[in-house]
Amino acid sequence: MQAQIFDDPLIAQVDPATYDAFVGQYELTPGMGDLITRQGDKLFGQDLPVGQEAPGVDRTELLPESPDTFFIRGDPTRRTFLKDQSGKVIRSVLHFPDREIVREKKIR
């Protein structure tokens, strides 16, 4: 059995006030998505059925790598939030080492 260890990037200095734009639910497949929440100066993500909200249960802190890209400690996956021309967040993209998954913002 082999374990791969991933080096985390440096945590970027980002104004936590910008996190409000990322809060919402992003659909992966019909009926399932990720809920992004903010508590104080921290941003969190968790998998939940679309429309369900259960902040605090099985959530994971998202750490800023840049103003719009976040990571989880020890995980190679990155999440980038995409904005439209007016600056409104419209999508979330998960970047895995071998693929990307686009999630559209559906709630909030």
Count of positions (residues) in the chain: 108
pLDDT confidence band for 25 (50 / 70 / 90): confident
Over residues 65-83, the pLDDT tens digits come to 999 999 999 899 999 999 9
Phi-psi region of 68 (alpha: psi -120 to 50; beta: other; left: phi over 0): alpha
Please name each of the domains of the chain with its CATH number: 16-107 (2.40.128.50)
| Span 57-71, average pLDDT | 92
**Predicted confidence (pLDDT) at residue 56 exceeds the cutoff of 60:** no
Mean pLDDT of the chain: 85
Question: Could you tell me if 48 and 35 are in contact, meaning their C-beta atoms sit under 8 angstroms apart?
Answer: yes
**Predicted confidence (pLDDT) at residue 106 exceeds the cutoff of 60:** no
pLDDT confidence band for 32 (50 / 70 / 90): confident
pLDDT confidence band for 96 (50 / 70 / 90): confident
Reduce the DSSP state of residue 103 to 3 states and report it: strand
